[in-house]
């Protein structure tokens, strides 16, 4: 009963952020938008402080995305006429994971191409993810070596959940909004095809986060600090948001997700420095794919640390 009450409180706070956020966007104010983010996240954190880690994680992530949209839209429309009606803003703020609001200016227009293809793609990935999680359950039931089982099953669950959410539900969401005339798009675009970490992070993996950090951090700071420092600050900010999503809910692993994104930012700068000196080893596709895969996987335990796996990933998968 207490959890249900907390969910109601969360819903009211999320609605308040959407309503207040639209007023801030119309006024074109930035620092007040950041203040709204901090205050609302702190309020939700206190509400779910003693609840299950999964409930705490989901509420913090959902609220963060809503509040970050206020900042992203305020930055995007700064100095421009706001074309979003309140209805368009509200649908965008509460019903889509991406951070670019402009596509929702055409909400209600005729359906766009490829909508059903995207929906079918999403459903197929959700099915694949479900099968992978069922196989993980089967492996656990065999009672193999405990440490080996933990490692293999954890990897399977992470991949399975990613297929269900990142490639499944978000693709279905994108296709569904295209049926309403909104030019939504895949937020995860064939990440295995990336030939550099820069390409992986900027064009292929989680474009919602890419848009968020680019609009809210990188672009406003680029001219003031230079592109290299602005890029590192964008990665650091992404790391802090992942701390909020992965460490705060389980009250463990603080600093590890942040370190992961600092490493990624430094590696992107290394890539840019190598490209500037015409170093050609990343121009070989096999080498480039191996480079990206290694640096995604090798430090991954920093991001998906032990307590996150034990308190979130396994219970979320029914284990």
- Alpha-carbon torsion, ordered 296, 306, 136, 205, to 10 deg: -30
Shared domain for 229 and 198, answered yes or no, is: yes
Please state, in angstroms and rounded to a whole number, the distance separating the CA atoms of residues 100 and 12: 24
pLDDT in tens, 269-297: 999 888 777 777 778 899 999 999 999 99
Shared domain for 241 and 123, answered yes or no, is: no
> Which of 156, 178, 200 finishes a domain?
178
**98 closest CA partner among 265, 18, 215:** 215
pLDDT in tens, 139-180: 998 878 888 999 999 999 999 999 999 999 999 999 999 999
Shared domain for 158 and 192, answered yes or no, is: no
Shared domain for 192 and 151, answered yes or no, is: no
pLDDT in tens, 60-110: 999 999 999 999 999 988 878 888 999 999 999 999 999 999 999 999 999
Shared domain for 193 and 310, answered yes or no, is: yes
> Which of 136, 153, 178 finishes a domain?
178
Shared domain for 242 and 300, answered yes or no, is: yes
pTM: 0.93
Per the structure, the complete domain to which residue 128 belongs is given by 115-178
Q: How remote is the C-alpha of 130 from its chain's centroid?
A: 21
Shared domain for 103 and 134, answered yes or no, is: no
Please state, in angstroms and rounded to a whole number, the distance separating the CA atoms of residues 227 and 190: 26
> Is the Cβ–Cβ distance between 24 and 35 less than 8 Å?
no
Shared domain for 311 and 263, answered yes or no, is: yes
Extract the runs of DSSP E, i.e. beta strands, from the chain: none
> Is the Cβ–Cβ distance between 200 and 209 less than 8 Å?
no
Shared domain for 245 and 195, answered yes or no, is: yes
Shared domain for 40 and 71, answered yes or no, is: yes
Shared domain for 144 and 223, answered yes or no, is: no
Shared domain for 144 and 20, answered yes or no, is: no
> Which of 130, 161, 178 finishes a domain?
178
pLDDT in tens, 47-58: 999 999 999 999
Please state, in angstroms and rounded to a whole number, the distance separating the CA atoms of residues 36 and 92: 18
* Number of independent structural domains in the chain: 3
């Amino acid at each position: 009963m207490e959890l249900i009450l907390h969910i109601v409180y969360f819903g009211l706070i999320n609605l308040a952020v959407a309503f207040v956020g639209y007023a801030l966007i119309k006024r074109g104010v930035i620092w007040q938008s950041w203040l709204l983010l901090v205050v609302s996240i702190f309020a939700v954190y206190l509400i779910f402080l003693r609840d299950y880690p999964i409930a705490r994680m989901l509420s913090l992530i959902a609220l963060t995305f809503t509040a970050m949209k206020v900042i992203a839209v305020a930055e995007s429309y700064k100095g421009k006429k706001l074309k979003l009606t309140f209805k368009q803003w509200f649908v965008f703020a509460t019903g889509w994971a991406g951070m670019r609001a402009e596509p929702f200016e055409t909400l209600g227009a005729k359906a766009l191409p490829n909508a059903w293809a995207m929906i079918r793609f999403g459903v197929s990935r959700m099915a694949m993810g479900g099968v992978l999680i069922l196989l993980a359950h089967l492996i656990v039931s065999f009672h193999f070596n405990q440490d080996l089982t933990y490692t293999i099953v954890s990897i399977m669950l992470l991949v399975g959940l990613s297929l269900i959410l990142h490639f499944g539900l978000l693709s279905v969401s994108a296709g569904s909004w295209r049926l309403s005339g909104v030019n939504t798009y895949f937020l995860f675009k064939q990440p295995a095809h990336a030939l550099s970490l820069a390409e992986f992070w900027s064009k292929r993996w989680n474009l919602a986060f890419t848009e968020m950090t680019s609009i809210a951090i990188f672009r406003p700071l680029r001219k003031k600090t230079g592109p290299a420092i602005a890029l590192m600050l964008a990665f650091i900010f992404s790391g802090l948001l992942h701390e909020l999503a992965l460490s705060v809910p389980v009250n463990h692993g603080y600093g590890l997700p942040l370190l992961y994104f600092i490493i990624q930012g430094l590696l992107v700068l290394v890539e840019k420095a190598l490209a500037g000196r015409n170093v050609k080893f990343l121009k070989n596709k096999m080498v480039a794919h191996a480079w990206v895969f290694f640096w995604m996987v090798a430090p991954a335990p920093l991001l998906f640390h032990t307590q996150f796996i034990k308190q979130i990933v396994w219970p979320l998968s029914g284990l």
